């Protein structure tokens, strides 16, 4: 008997068993609805100019965009993190550098959320570290309710939450947990 013919009874029995075991009146369970991005990019490098001057340089390993710009739920997502450098439009000097392992920006609300190992560094070298940071573009402020650590040449502050202007010139800390002054500043 050829090899092909030896398997035919087995395959026929298997198919018959599967067909007999199927119920035609079984309920159909819908699959969960997943959003599909309308735009997706890998190894993104984006430059934003204001007039003829570079304002923002953004790098991200993965970028997704959901929904059209005018839709109230439209957002962009950086699921594998992002690095941003903000420049002064007139002088071209670096104003701030931001890094996070995850980011999302709601387009109509003009609200951004950065999560997981968020680091913000200003031109003076002061750094802010937290696990979650919100940037409200309409109000021009940064804020978080999570633990935050700010390190400057003269002190380190640890608090549970903060709010600030974009330049981080006036930071209001909530529930300060520690204030450590450097030896040279005493």
* Regions of the chain where pLDDT drops below 70: 1-34, 69, 184-186
d(CA 177, CA 98): 24
For the whole model, what pTM was predicted? 0.75
Check residue 29 and give its pLDDT. Answer: 57
Check residue 71 and give its pLDDT. Answer: 75
Check residue 184 and give its pLDDT. Answer: 59
d(CA 74, CA 15): 47
Q: Partners of 58 in the beta sheet?
A: 46, 84
Check residue 89 and give its pLDDT. Answer: 81
Tokens of 155: 């002190």
Write down the residue that tokens 């003269």 correspond to.
Answer: 154
**Residues 129, 118 contacting (CB under 8 angstroms):** yes
d(CA 73, CA 104): 12
Check residue 28 and give its pLDDT. Answer: 64
* Domains defined for the chain, CATH in brackets: 36-185 (2.60.450.10)
**Residues 133, 121 contacting (CB under 8 angstroms):** no
d(CA 80, CA 158): 27
Check residue 30 and give its pLDDT. Answer: 56
Q: Is 16 helix (H, G, I), strand (E, B) or coil?
A: helix
DSSP character at residue 44: E
């Amino acid at each position: 008997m050829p090899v092909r013919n030896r398997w035919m009874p087995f395959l026929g029995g298997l198919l018959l068993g599967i067909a007999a075991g199927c119920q035609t009146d079984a309920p159909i369970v819908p699959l969960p609805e997943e959003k599909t991005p309308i735009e997706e990019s890998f190894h993104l490098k984006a430059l934003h100019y204001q007039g003829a001057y570079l304002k923002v340089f953004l790098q991200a390993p993965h970028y997704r965009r959901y929904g059209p710009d005018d839709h109230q739920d439209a957002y962009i997502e950086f699921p594998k993190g992002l690095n941003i450098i903000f420049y002064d439009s007139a002088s071209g000097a670096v104003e701030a550098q931001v890094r996070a392992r995850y980011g999302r920006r709601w387009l109509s609300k003009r609200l951004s959320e950065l999560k997981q190992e968020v680091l913000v560094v200003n031109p003076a070298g002061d750094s802010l570290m937290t696990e979650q940071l919100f940037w409200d573009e309409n109000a021009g402020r940064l804020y978080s309710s999570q633990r935050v650590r700010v390190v400057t040449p003269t002190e380190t502050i640890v608090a549970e939450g903060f709010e600030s202007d974009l330049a981080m010139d006036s930071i209001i800390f909530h529930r300060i947990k520690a204030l450590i002054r450097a030896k040279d500043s005493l």
